[in-house]
């Protein structure tokens, strides 16, 4: 069965700094990988996904993630954090027709 | 693509009572999912529903839970005889197709509190 581990339940960065949120997965088959963001009092919004093809995936709001099979990782990055990026971020792997989520990482951005 | 809407946004109920959570798709989609998130824990899959039938359910989804699409539009999750540990955020999601490559679009959730 697939599983997802997000390293760091809380990450704090300064505005303008690099954002790096870590995600490692376990999967016995080629994985489908997703990053979702949850703003306060809102639902989960898809940031980006990897299914097949190019391993560097670009998403909304300047985020991107790179699928590294050898490291079983799908880390999320953004070159320059903005205050509006403060939210909770979830990495997920597809299993059958459902998503298996990580624990989530809360990102805070300091002015 | 637009998300689904969910009602109510918040519900408080007494232990042992039945609750019905509703998911209203913006357009006519066939694939629906329920997930829940207990405070401080992971988002967990409960059940997937296709063409008026359950296609997959997790071990969490026991006889206490049921899903249906009674009027062809709303998609409901019923929790019978609620327990304290049912307190959670419940999310509905939908896709256009049923494969995992399809993006699952989530609603804003219903926050359920069982007292």
pLDDT of residue A1: 74
Look at A42 and B101 and tell me if their CB atoms are within 8 Å: no
pLDDT of residue B97: 67
CA distance A39 to chain B (A): 10
Chain A neighbors of B33, CB-CB under 8 A:
97-98
Return the closest-CA partner of residue A33 out of A100, A103, A110.
A100
| Identity of the residue in A90, A96, A103 whose CB atom sits nearest the CB atom of B100 | A96
Residue B89 scores a pLDDT above 80 = yes
pLDDT of residue A16: 97
With beta carbons less than 8 A apart as the criterion, state whether A18 and A32 touch.
Answer: no
Residue B1 scores a pLDDT above 60 = no
Look at A94 and B55 and tell me if their CB atoms are within 8 Å: no
pLDDT confidence bin for A25, thresholds 50/70/90: very high
Give Rg (Cα) of chain A: 13
Number of Cβ within 10 Å of residue A26's Cβ equals 13
pLDDT of residue A35: 96
For every residue of B73-114, DSSP letters joined together read S-EEEEESS--GGG-EEEEEEEESSSSTTSPPEE---EEEEE
Look at A103 and B42 and tell me if their CB atoms are within 8 Å: yes
Segment A50-66 mean pLDDT: 93
Tell me which of B3, B43, B59, B103 to substitute to probe the interface with A (most A C-beta atoms closer than 10 Å): B43
Look at B43 and A98 and tell me if their CB atoms are within 8 Å: no
With beta carbons less than 8 A apart as the criterion, state whether A59 and A35 touch.
Answer: yes
Question: Which residues 6+ apart lie within 8 Å of B19 measured at CB?
Answer: B11, B13, B78, B79, B82, B112
Look at B42 and A102 and tell me if their CB atoms are within 8 Å: yes
Measured between CA atoms, the residue of chain A closest to residue B31 is: A97
The structure tokens listed for B13 are 């109920």
The pLDDT tens digits for B36-80 are 999 888 899 999 988 778 989 999 999 999 998 877 778 899 999
Residue B26 scores a pLDDT above 90 = no
Chain A neighbors of B99, CB-CB under 8 A:
97
- Asked if A90 reaches chain B (Cβ–Cβ under 8 Å), the answer is yes
- Asked if A98 reaches chain B (Cβ–Cβ under 8 Å), the answer is yes
Look at A101 and B103 and tell me if their CB atoms are within 8 Å: no
């Amino acid at each position: 069965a697939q599983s997802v581990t997000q390293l760091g339940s809380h990450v704090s960065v300064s505005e303008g700094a690099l954002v790096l949120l870590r995600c490692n997965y376990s999967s016995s088959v080629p994985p489908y990988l997703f990053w979702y963001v949850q703003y306060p009092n809102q639902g989960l919004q898809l940031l980006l996904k990897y299914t097949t093809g190019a391993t560097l995936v670009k998403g909304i709001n300047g985020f991107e993630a790179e699928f590294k099979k050898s490291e079983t990782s799908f880390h999320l990055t953004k070159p320059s954090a903005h205050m509006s990026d403060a939210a909770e971020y979830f990495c997920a792997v597809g299993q059958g027709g459902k998503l298996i989520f990580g624990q989530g990482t809360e990102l805070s951005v300091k002015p | 693509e637009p998300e689904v809407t969910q009602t109510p946004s918040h519900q408080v109920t007494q232990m042992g009572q039945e609750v019905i959570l509703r998911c209203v798709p913006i357009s006519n989609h066939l694939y629906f999912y329920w997930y829940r998130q207990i405070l401080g824990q992971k988002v967990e899959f409960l059940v997937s529903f296709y063409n008026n039938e359950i296609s997959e359910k997790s071990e969490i989804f026991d006889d206490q839970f049921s899903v249906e699409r009674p009027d062809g539009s709303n998609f409901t999750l019923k929790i019978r005889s609620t327990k304290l540990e049912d307190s959670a955020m419940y999310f509905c999601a939908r896709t256009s197709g049923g494969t995992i490559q399809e993006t699952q679009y989530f609603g804003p959730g219903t926050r359920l509190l069982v007292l």
